[in-house]
Structure formats: C-alpha cells, structure tokens
Structure 1
Amino acid sequence: MTPALTEGTHTIERDGVAMRYHVAGSGPVCVLHPGGPGAAWEYLRAPHLEKDLTCVYVEPVGTGGSGRLPTHPDGYSLDRYVSFVDALIDHLDVPQVHLLGHSHGGFVAQRYAITRPDRLAGLVLYDTAPAAGPELMAEAGRQMEEFFARFPDRPEAHEAMATWKALATGTDEEYTRSMRGLLPAYFADSRVTEAFATLRAELRAWAVTSDEGPWQHHEALATLRTPTLVLVGQWDFICGPRWAHELHETIPGSQLVTFEHSGHFVHIEEPEGFASAVAGFVERNVVADRTVSSPRGGA
C-alpha cells in the first residue's frame, strides 16, 4: 500500500487549488465521488464497504476543507471535477482503481471513464443518469409528485414538496436548507429514523456553480468497455430506475442491481446489500484481472 493510501485525511493540489481526500478500510482501492454538486462528502461514508475495500472518499473542490476556485471562466464543470479525479488517481500510485460515483458524482465518473478508461479496473454508477438537462428535472418533478401521493398525510412530505417548489440554492446557507428540506424525498420511507435525523442534522452543501449546459453521454457510453455496475434505489426520485435502465441498456456488458427498499441513499437504507453488491463486483473484476494477467498454467 502506498503512503497516499494510509488511513486518514490527505491533500493534493492541482492548478494551485487544494483538494482533500479521506482513506478508510482495506482491500482493493475504490475511489468514491459524492454528489450534489456541492454536498459534503461525509454523507457517502459506507462503513460496511470499508470491511472489504480501501475506500478513498473524494472531498471535491468547493466543499468542506478543500479549496475554492478563484475567479474562473467555466466554474465547477464536469471536466474540472474530472481533472481532480485524475490528479488523485495519479497521486494514489496504483495501476488501476475502481471508481464509484453517486448522483452528480456519477456524472463525473461517467465522464472520467469515457476520457480515461485506462485508469479504471471498474466503474460503479450509483443512483445517477446518463444525461442532465430539462428532461432530468421534469422526470424528477413527476417522481416528486408520486412521492407526495404516497405520503399525503405526513408533515415531512409536505415540507419536501414545499422545498421543491421553492428551491433556493444561491448561497451555501440556502442550499443547505434546501437539501435538508428535500431530504425526506430521498428516502424510500419518509418517516424520520435515527439515520435520517443524523444525516439531516449534519448535512452541509456549498453553492458551487458551473456554466455547463445540458449534456448527454449515451453515444460515448455505448463504446465503453470498462466493467460497469449500475445501482439504483427503486424509490429514488431524482435519479431513479428510468435512468438506471438507460445506463444499463447503453453500456455494453453492464450489470444492474435495483434495491427495492431504498431511495437515493441505498448505502444508508440497505447498507449490507449495497456493500455486498459493490464488493462482489470489485472482487470479480480483481479475480478476472488476475486470470488474464497470469501466464498459462500459472496460479
């Protein structure tokens, strides 16, 4: 294991901007990129996964203890995030890694796999979509209406719907309030559990901005040869099963796992199943790579 992969918090720098990352666990290396964009990395912490993998959690630029961009022409674009992922993987100094992207982090992971497939042993696209733009938001609106129809008598559902209709993300404080208000809709069951309450109290978000317009990855993903696992919660309102099936149908040889009792946070609602799916996928890729790399007749 390289010093860059010792447990704890580390910092790298690219173009004069610092980015922190956090290492926990042991086993094959998996880099995890959170969503938002602008959400604090801690929500993606997956202790069950750390039992089988060396988890490298990205703390994206613009959030938490990582640096902020100076005055710039193109903001926190996908390509900007990709450049920091590339710098991180280079810094880790291992031949290849698995890359897991959640939600907006899945957008980043797709773009990285398209542009740097040589750096990846495998790709995990977790509650994300192959395109961003008006159609994604329109579908989210429809799913929000369905969420509200399932829980019409629950105060937290009313709060989530009201937040959605008056979404405010202009400042860090507004974005954090909006994310906390929307949080019930991100779960399969809107009732306040201990895990939900903890996440809501600790959730932070930063109003990172980008001038990037709508995009789609379908054509590029159709040529992808990186082993890919697609994960989705059945009740995810923002990047739900419709988009997971599109990813699965577009990426050759991909695997799809749907979690029937989860929304946008499978690693919180079904942590053991989530960890089993991801660790199993990684282990199969590692075994396959060893088989291919071994000389004929070798162990």
Structure 2
Amino acid sequence: MWREIEPDERHELTIQGHRVVAYVFGKGPETLLCLNGGPGLPCDYLREAHSCLADNGYRVVAFDQLGTGASDRPEDTSLWTIQRYVEETEAVRQTLGLGPVHLLGHSWGGWLAIDYALTHPDVIKSLILADTVADMPHLVSELERLRAALGPETVAMMQAHEAAGTYNHPEYLAAVTLLNYRHVCRLPEWPAPVNRSLEDWNMGPYMTMQGPNEFLYIGNLKDWNRIPDLPKITAPVLIVVGEHDELTPACALRMKNALPDGARINVVRNASHMPFYENPQGYYPPLLSFLESVSG
C-alpha cells in the first residue's frame, strides 16, 4: 500500500536544453516507469502511490515532466505538445539506462503512454493504462453526461461562464468542485501527495493542452484520438478505471474493445480517478498480479 518514501536516487537530467528531475525507488530487475497526469502536475501524487512497489522487487521510476515540480518551467507554449513529451520520456529512459520497461500512464500520462508505446513499441514490456482514455471526443461526450447530472440550471450556468471565459467565478468553481469530489477523488480528505501536486500545478501546460479544468477540453489535445491505432499495440495491456471515474468506464471499454485480444480491465469499485488512494485493496493486488504475469 502507498506511503511516502524517500527516493533511492534523484537525477537531474538535461533534455533538449532543459533540466528534468527523475526519481528512482528500488533496484529490482523489472522497471516500472510512471507517467503522471496533468498536464502541468508534479509527479508527487503518482510517485508516492507507486514507489511502494519497490517492496515487491520492482525498480520504480517517475519524473517531473518539463514545466512541473523540480524540473525547469519555461514559458514557451510551443513546448506543450504530446509529441515533445514523448521525446522527453524516451530521453529519460535512455539517459537512466532503463532498458525495456513496464509503462504506467495515469490520466494525461495515459495519453502520453499510448503515443509513446506507438512510437517506441520495442521498449514496452507491458502497458498499464490507468484512469485514462484513447479518444478525446468520446471523453467529451461522457463528461457532458456527468455534468448533466448536476441539473439543467447548473449546466446552463456553467455553459454561460464558459462562453464568457469567466472560469474563476465562484458559482462556476463550486460546480467544478462538486464534480471533482464525485469523479476525481471521493475521499472526504484528499491525501497529502494529491494536495501537494495540486497546489503546485502549472496551469501553462494544462491550459495549452487541455483547458481550464477537468471537465472542459479546449486545448490542443481536444481532437486527439488513437482508437484506430490501438490494434498496433502488441504488448500486454492492463486497463484500470474507477467505478465513478471522470475518465469513465465507457472510455475504458472503448480502449479494451480496440486493443488486441487479451487486454485486461480492472474496474475499481468505490473509486473515481484516484483508485490507488480511494480503494487500495481494489487497485494494488490486480496490478501486482498483472506485473507478475508479464515480468521476466
């Protein structure tokens, strides 16, 4: 189960002229490379949720993507593309000498993991797609369904603020907060690593690539769709989704149906977008079982 652990190694890497900080836990023969969500979030929340797998013999690696955490924070918006983050991920893997990896992508990190796996298939031992999607237009339709559960008056209010660009209005923020507690993390008190990542969120990459919040996609990824390409992924795949996830079970099923036969799916009950914190018993045993079956 998760706990905060000091890394065994901390590396400051120079990638495309920028400093990127990576963290390594454990020294096992099998490497789990974690790609966290955001964009724009430090890796704390995902790093602290998976560093404990070092206890099971895995080397766990996470890094603060450019623009986040201890890494450099340039303000050039042309840097905020999924293609550049694919290149950054490969540079981290090569510079640290990780060899073939088990790649775990959570949320935005899952979109990045899919593009990375399609670009560098030979270095993927397995792929864990946690609380993520492969079809942004389909996700947008699912988010509209979740928003509709707030009622027509609230939806109309949100749409009016979105049209005006008044994303920081208190009533709009109240609606987003309610959605967050329903579909991002359902715990009454959010874990410290989650709060730490959220408090250090760089909205530059987030606004450029996604939008102003988790329920409005207007950035450069709004039309991203890799469903037609998923049959090209031949590595073993585990899909994880929370029962109440903002990136919904319907999105997870859409990925599973597009992947080659054999892709597994774990729907974590009583959880939303942070199942490793919300329902550890529903998250870790299936993940470890999958990793054990594809390791070696």
TM over 0.5: yes
* 1:140 partnered with 2:135: no
**What is the alpha-carbon distance in structure 1 between the residues aligned to residue 249 and residue 159 of structure 2?**
20
Structure 1 residue 48: Cα displacement: 4.0
Verify the 8 A CA contact 2:44 2:196 in the aligned structure 1.
no
Q: Which amino acid aligns with 1:122?
A: S
Change (3 A) 1:42 1:169: farther
Q: Is the contact between residue 122 and residue 285 of structure 1 (CA under 8 Å) also seen in structure 2? A: yes
Amino acid at match of 1:199: V
Q: Summarize the Cα distance change of 1:169–1:41 in structure 2 as closer, same or farther, 3 Å threshold.
A: farther
Q: Using the alignment, how far apart are the partners of 2:121 and 2:9 within structure 1?
A: 27
Query: Structure 1 pair 196/180, CA: closer, same or farther in 2 (3 Å)?
Result: farther
Instruction: List per-residue Cα deviations over 1:88-114 (Å, max 9, x = no partner).
Output: 111221331111000011000000001
Counterpart amino acid of 2:140? M
1:265 shift after superposition: 0.3
Task: Measure how far apart 1:282 and its partner are.
Answer: 1.7
1:247 corresponds to:
255
User: Match for residue 222 of structure 1?
Assistant: 231
Matched residue, 1:15: 16
Tell me if 1:37 matches 2:39.
yes
Q: Distance in 2 between matches of 1:164 and 1:182?
A: 15
Letter aligned with residue 90 of structure 1: Q
Q: Deviation of residue 232 (structure 1)?
A: 0.5
Q: Deviation digits for residues 180-210 of structure 1, max 9, x if unmatched?
A: 7753133564x613x4577346623111124
Change (3 A) 1:65 1:196: closer
* CA–CA separation in structure 2 for the residues paired with 1:229 and 1:91: 27
Q: Which moved more, 1:108-117 or 1:44-53?
A: 44-53
Structure 2 distance, partners of 1:100, 1:218, is 18
Number of matched pairs: 263
What are the equivalent positions in structure 2 for 1:1-299 lying under 5 Å apart?
7-27=8-28, 28-44=30-46, 45-46=48-49, 47-52=51-56, 53-69=58-74, 71=76, 74-133=78-137, 135-146=138-149, 148=150, 183-187=180-184, 189=186, 192-193=188-189, 195-196=190-191, 199-200=194-195, 203-204=198-199, 205-207=201-203, 208=205, 209-210=208-209, 211-212=220-221, 214-237=223-246, 239-252=247-260, 253-287=262-296
Contact 2:142 2:248 in 1 (8 A): no
C-alpha distance in 2, partners of 1:13/1:169? 38
Aligned partner letter, 1:266: P
Q: Structure 1 residues 97, 201: CA separation in 2 closer, same or farther (over 3 Å shift)?
A: closer
**Does the aligned pair in 2 maintain the 1:163–1:182 contact within 8 Å?**
no
User: Take 2:258 and 2:224, find their aligned partners in 1: how far apart are those partners?
Assistant: 16
Distance 1:48 1:186, change over 3 A: farther
Separation (CA, whole Å) in 1 of partners of 2:33 and 2:123: 12
Gaps spanning 5+ residues in structure 2: where? 1-6, 210-219
Distance 1:263 1:164 in 2: 24
Inter-partner Cα distance in structure 1 for 2:182 and 2:272: 8
Query: Matched residues in 2 for 1:214 and 1:51: separation?
Result: 40
Rounded Cα–Cα distance in structure 2 between residues aligned with 1:178 and 1:165: 13
Tell me the C-alpha RMSD between the 2 structures: 3.2
1:152 aligns with none
Secondary structure of residue in 2 paired with 1:203 = helix
What per-residue deviation string (whole Å, max 9, x for no partner) do you get for residues 150-169 of structure 1? xxxxxxxx9xx988985789
- Unaligned residue ranges in structure 1 (runs of 5+): 1-5, 150-157, 288-299
Select between 207-216 and 26-35 the one with higher mean Cα deviation.
Answer: 207-216
